[in-house]
Amino acid sequence: MKRKHRFRKEDVELFLLALPTVVWYILFCYLPMFGIIIAFKQFRPTESNFIMSLIKSKFVGFDNFKFLFATPDAGIIFRNTLAYNAVFIVLGIVIPVTLAIMISQLHSQKLAKVCQTAMFLPHFLSWVVVSYFVFAFLSIDKGLINQLLKTMGRNPVEWYMQPQYWPYILTLLHVWKSVGYGMVVYLASISGIDINLYEAALIDGATKWQQVKYITLPMLKPIITIMFILSVGSIFSSDFGLFYNIPRNSGPLINATQTIDVYVYKALMGMNNIGFSSAAAFLQSIFGFITITTANWVVRKIDPNNSLF
């Protein structure tokens, strides 16, 4: 239905009401989007005006990208980002869904509420704070884990120097911090399922397990699908706080823990390497866009109701 392009007074007022937010989006979202061409230029701040500098900087095509991929870092950061995210996505659905189903079955609702509240706490802590928690456990001389190892007669481990443990450590921490949140989302869906479905199934002689398989899980499919698309869509992004703060910038750990986001930050701020940094950031944005639109397209083929757009 074509709208007549007549701006009523109401429309003008609404436009003005939303204008500050529109300006915010232009300044903080869209302007940087145009700035992404810096990846294709050899940026030299020749003019006092940044935008003029950007325009005047030499266009170097894919040079930044070529040089970036000549370094071993490029492969490592993409591998790390995708691998960690793949694990996070799977665990981030399987574990909270399972726990949500389990906790909704507890006889004591009071216990369920208390446990759910407690499990929600990690979500509200920043990774900076959590890095101190981790340090209390993994500190080489004073940490709890090493002390336990000593009492068991084993040698203490220099945790912050041994990369092989860190995929497990980071994954465990990610699950620890996010499971409370995930559980709440799925619990909310579960609590919306019509109880009569279960009672009808019970009359038909269904076991608890069958009820879960044939009622709960299918009813959760929409929300699981949405969460899955959102996760896959951001498969090229990582939680900067987790990957930067927890390993405490320890050298030996870098190859096992550095993701694209951490690399972009370090290249930009530490090494002042705008070329590499912007090339990696550009790839991250482009690939991220492709993955989220693809994920949504796939879901739309399967079940149109559940797609995002």
* Interaction residues for other proteins, span 133-172 (CB under 8 A): 133, 136-137, 139, 141-144, 146-147
Is residue 98 within the footprint of other proteins (CB under 8 A)? no
> 173 is written with which tokens?
């921490």
Nearer to other proteins, 50 or 168 (CB): 50
Specify the DSSP element, H or E, that contains 59. strand 58-59
Query: Could you give the count of Cα atoms lying within 13 Å of 223 in the half-sphere of its Cβ?
Result: 22
Phi and psi at 175, nearest 5°, equal: -65, -45
At residue 58, the 3 state secondary structure works out as strand
Is residue 111 within the footprint of other proteins (CB under 8 A)? yes
Q: Which stretch binds other proteins (CB under 8 A): 55-63, 76-84, 158-166, 193-201?
A: 193-201
Q: How far is the CB of 24 from other proteins (least distance, A)?
A: 5
Q: Which stretch binds other proteins (CB under 8 A): 65-73, 86-94, 161-169, 179-187?
A: 179-187
Residues whose CB falls within 8 Å of the CB of residue 8, separated by 6 or more in sequence, listed in order: none
At residue 306, the 3 state secondary structure works out as helix
Q: Which stretch binds other proteins (CB under 8 A): 15-23, 65-73, 83-91, 158-166?
A: 15-23
Query: By the 8 A CB rule, do 42 and 63 touch?
Result: yes
Is residue 33 within the footprint of other proteins (CB under 8 A)? yes
Q: Which of residues 47-66 bind other proteins (CB under 8 A)?
A: 50-51
Specify the DSSP element, H or E, that contains 42. strand 41-42
Nearer to other proteins, 3 or 164 (CB): 3
Q: Which of residues 194-253 bind other proteins (CB under 8 A)?
A: 195, 198-199, 202, 208, 211, 222-223, 226-227, 233, 240-241, 245, 248
Is residue 15 within the footprint of other proteins (CB under 8 A)? yes
DSSP secondary structure of 276-303? HHHHHHHHHHHHHHHHHHHHHHHHHHH-
